[in-house]
Structures are given as C-alpha cells and as structure tokens.
Amino acid sequence: MDIVSSRPAVGTISTARSEAVQYREAVRTELPRIQRVSQPESDTAGSATDDRRAGDMAARDDRILADRRARMERIADTMRESLQRRIEKDDAAGVLVYRTVDRQTGEVVRQFPDEMILKLKAYAREMARKEELEAAENPRVEKVA
C-alpha cells in the first residue's frame, strides 16, 4: 500500500462537494423584490406585516382570478352570439339534422348526423323505394305444386 500516492485508494468515496454546483439545465432567475425570499424577523410586529402581505397577495390573486373568469365569460358570450343553432329536415334521408352555423360566414361548425351518414341514408331510402316500385309493377306469383 502506497501512503505517499496522491491517488485515492480503490473503493473510497469522495464526499467533498463544491457549494456552488452549476447544472447544465439550470436557469438564472431574477425575482421582483416583492417575491424575494428573506429571513423572517423574530419579533411579532414583523410577523403581522408578513401576514398582511400574504393576505394582500391572496386578495390580489382572487381579483386576478375573478378578472380571468369575467373575461372567459365575455368570450363565451361572444361565441354564443356568433353561432346559430338550426334544426332542419333532410328530405332525401328522411331525418332531422342538427347544425351549428357561424352567423357571419354561414359555415357549418358542427352537424349531427354527419354529412356522410345523411348520404348513406338517402341512398338506402332511394334503393328501398325502387324495390317497392319494382315489386308493385312485377308481382311475384309463387306456384306450389
């Protein structure tokens, strides 16, 4: 065993660690003065100030939340005003069609049933009508012996 060597012995764990470890993913953050972390004061007057400050922040957060809700309600009202709901009967398919249409552009936003389903129903209805006409023109006579 070499005592004079500067290399650590095999199996030893190095616990020395730099206090200012910088990570590659770390981002430098600059906080506003109000949000900076500080040592709490030991006297009771300081804690009353901190409680008031926390209450002020909570009230400010509540106001911000209320403003956001009001803004979202206004947006929803605007969207409701710009959209029109229609119920129409599709004669070819023989079903009711529920549509939501943009009033300004006339574009169909939503529709139930889908356009493809309406086409399939119209086709099936037309084929059934043709079969009924053929059956009326050429009645089948079955002979039983």
Average pLDDT value over all residues in the chain: 77
Judge whether 107 lies within some domain: yes
Mean predicted confidence (pLDDT) in 51-58: 68
Furthest-apart CA atoms within the chain: distance in Å:
120
* CA-based end-to-end distance of the chain: 116
Structure confidence at residue 61 as a pLDDT band (50, 70, 90): confident
Judge whether 39 lies within some domain: no
- pLDDT of amino acid 11: 57
Q: Tell me the sheet residues that pair with 83.
A: 102
Judge whether 8 lies within some domain: no
- pLDDT of amino acid 7: 61
Judge whether 57 lies within some domain: yes
The mean-pLDDT minimum among 23-27, 73-77, 141-145 falls in 23-27
Judge whether 82 lies within some domain: yes
Choice between 8 and 45, residue whose per-residue pLDDT is larger: 8
Cα distances from 16 to residues 7, 19, 21, 55, in angstroms, run 15, 9, 12, 43
Q: Could you give the 3-state DSSP secondary structure of residue 57?
A: helix
Number of separate domains in the chain:
1
The mean-pLDDT minimum among 9-18, 72-81, 121-130 falls in 9-18
Cα distances from 90 to residues 84, 87, 94, 114, 140, in angstroms, run 18, 10, 6, 12, 34
- pLDDT of amino acid 57: 78
The residue range of the domain holding 60 is: 50-134
- pLDDT of amino acid 104: 85
At residue 119, does pLDDT exceed 90? yes
